[in-house]
Structure 1
Amino acid sequence: MVRDFHLADFLTLCNAACGVAGVFLAMLFAVEGDTRFFYLAAAMAPVAFIFDVFDGKVARWRNQHSALGRELDSLADIISFGLAPAALAFAAGMRGGWDWVALIYFVCCGVSRLARYNVTAETLSEGAAKVPYFEGTPIPTSVLLTAVLAFAAWQGRLGDQLYGGVWQLGPWGLHPLSLLFVLSGTLMLSKTLRIPKL
């Protein structure tokens, strides 16, 4: 199988590796409490984003597009820009029951958005090398969420000090900051929101 991989596919795997590293670093922060792990976890998102940009550029440059490459890209993206930001948010202190619901919703929106992209990409591209626009926000925009969390860490606003505090709604707690993940996930699912692909 590896012999069938193109250079762009290896860049995509580097994207996935960054996402997995981000999850592990978030877990290390949750266990050890060392903020350096948190910063490193947050830094994995922009590094993954760089690989995500370049895998497409390399595929077009070498004219090596494939169904396998498209599937690999989506699977890598859900790790790096779906699961890893959710894990970072959990490590940051969003651990109330409603936070769980918000973060799970965010990841499920990301999975759904990428599945829709894979199904509709050929139709939207109309035979061109790439899709002219995204339906809904692309999942790598979650890099902005990790930036917010990194800024919160820099200000010492993690755990009980998260922006907005925690609201007790019924049996569970909700950190208002987790609503950013709900908004991000909802925008990913939009069919009317069209963002030109650069």
Structure 2
Amino acid sequence: MTTLEKRKAFSMIREFHLADWLTLGNAVCGIGALFSIMTFLQTGHVKHVYFACSLLVAALIFDVLDGRVARWRQMTSPMGQELDSLADIISFGVTPAVIGYALGMNGLFDRIVLAYFVACGVSRLARYNVTAQELSEGGDKVKYFEGTPIPTSLLIVGILFWATTTGAVGSTIWFGEFTLAGFRFHPLVLMFALSGSLMISRIRIPKV
């Protein structure tokens, strides 16, 4: 790395606000949860599923705190907004889908639904970013969400956590398994389809 590149990197880090570091905490928790669920796939030890779910709860705490700190310090920036979206798609989009896959929803139709869920999360965040100024109605704070916020996927994570505690994973997954056109399908995956559809809906939800 050249001296100029080092200066640019250091300059970028100096531009980070406290809220941005909290946002990075969200992302790190999401990545840690991914590592935990991959370890579960390698070892089969359910404790790693519990670790993954717990890390996503921590990610939610960071996600709530970064917004509150940004408003408290009145330091918001386009970079902070982009960081927040990228962290959210890791923690509340990709990781819940991977947990679902690891716990047994890994047939072809399951994968299609899980990919749809993540795509809806990406679309939801992109729409929010481009319409945030309009939705704020000239104020400093967005008055409402259009579609359910992506962190609501933690409801699914909670259900999967519960299923794991009862041993309902893999071949014993709730609602069983069906074969459609020669490919496996697990009805439980439809909760991801519902969550994704609600995220891209036009339902207005007041922002607290």
Q: C-alpha distance in 2, partners of 1:113/1:74?
A: 10
Shift of 1:53: 0.3
- Name the count of aligned residue pairs: 197
Unpaired runs of 5+ in structure 1? none
Structure 1 outlier segments of 4+, above 2 Å:
none
In our comparison, the structure showing a higher alpha carbon Rg is 2
Cα distance in structure 2, aligned partners of 1:182 and 1:133: 23
d(CA) in 2 for partners of 1:137, 1:172: 31
2:164 to 140, 146, 153: 153
2:42 alignment partner in structure 1: 31
Shift of 1:42: 1.1
Tell me the TM-score normalized by structure 1: 0.98
| Pairwise CA distance, 1:171 | 2.1
CA deviations on 1:147-175 (whole Å, 9 max, x unpaired) are: 00000000010101110011111121111
What CA distance in whole angstroms lies between the structure 2 residues aligned with 1:181 and 1:44? 20
Aligned match of 1:55: 66
TM-score by length of 2: 0.93
1:157-176 superposed matches below 5 A: 157-176=168-187
| TM-superposed deviation, 1:44 | 1.5
- Report whether the alignment pairs 1:130 with 2:133: no
* SS of 1:56 mapped into structure 2: helix
Query: Which residue of 2 is the match for residue 41 of structure 1?
Result: 52
How far does the alpha carbon of each residue in 1:9-47 deviate from its partner, in whole angstroms, 9 at most, with x for none?
A: 000000001111111111110110001001101111111
| Aligned-residue identity in percent | 55
Find the aligned partners of 1:129 and 1:23 in 2 and give their Cα distance: 34
RMSD (CA atoms): 0.7
1:97 matched to which residue of 2?
Answer: 108
Cα distance in 1, alignment partners of residues 139 and 157 from structure 2: 33
Which among 132, 150, 172 is matched to residue 139 of structure 1?
Answer: 150
How many Å apart are 1:128 and its aligned residue? 1.8
Cα distance in 2, alignment partners of residues 56 and 189 from structure 1:
22
Deviations 1:128-157 (A, max 9, x none): 222110000000000001000000000010
- Give the alignment of 1:169-184 within 5 angstroms: 169-184=180-195
What residue in structure 2 maps to residue 3 of structure 1?
14
